[in-house]
Structure 1
């Protein structure tokens, strides 16, 4: 598949990365950051893998399915953690993560 065929996935990855970075930043400002530690950690992991896969797709990586499978797993883990928290940023992040996980699974 060429870069053009992955444009929708690239967009979804970018949206997920942005949501995770926003959630990460907002979680650091919460009163009880200890309670948010796992959410913060997974936001970082997820943003990083989404960013990496977005770049890899744009350079036509031969490892699309392998990277997408890892990305889907991390996005699901982040989404599951975020949905445990009532904060608006966590709920929006969970939504973006689950959407991204599904998009990644479709090419994995």
Structure 2
């Protein structure tokens, strides 16, 4: 069982992963998919990193702080890209990414 100190981070990571996966899927259905390419790419990166960090925490990895630092950078990049698009799924994803970036920065400190 992961340390109690990471319970909130685990929840935020999972929410972010789900938001990115939803955004990724919704972006693929947009009329101008080429315009959404960077958003789609970063959604995948972010969802994968959040999932990986979630796994690392659950197995009590000694690299959680370092991984959380990288995850914060990826979440912030994804959030900034999603903010550029008016679609509701992108705006919700941006919000989840920024929340996750902050939680990861706190965990990395």
Which TM-score applies when normalising by structure 2? 0.96
> Which residue pairs with 2:12 in the alignment?
12
What are the ranges of 5 or more consecutive residues in structure 2 without an aligned counterpart?
none
What are the ranges of 5 or more consecutive residues in structure 1 without an aligned counterpart?
none
Is the 8 Å Cα contact of residues 16 and 96 (structure 1) preserved in structure 2?
yes
Secondary structure of residue in 1 paired with 2:99: helix
Between the aligned partners of 1:43 and 1:3, the Cα distance in structure 2 is: 28
> Which residue pairs with 2:87 in the alignment?
87
What are the equivalent positions in structure 2 for 1:36-47 lying under 5 Å apart?
Answer: 36-47=36-47
Is the 8 Å Cα contact of residues 83 and 94 (structure 1) preserved in structure 2?
yes
**How many residue pairs end up in the alignment?**
107
Q: Following TM superposition, where does structure 1 have runs of at least 4 consecutive aligned residues deviating by more than 2 angstroms? A: none
RMSD in angstroms over aligned alpha carbons?
A: 0.7
Which TM-score applies when normalising by structure 1? 0.97
> Which residue pairs with 2:27 in the alignment?
27
> Which residue pairs with 2:67 in the alignment?
67
Cα displacement (A) at 1:107: 1.2
Between the aligned partners of 2:16 and 2:42, the Cα distance in structure 1 is: 12
Cα displacement (A) at 1:4: 2.1
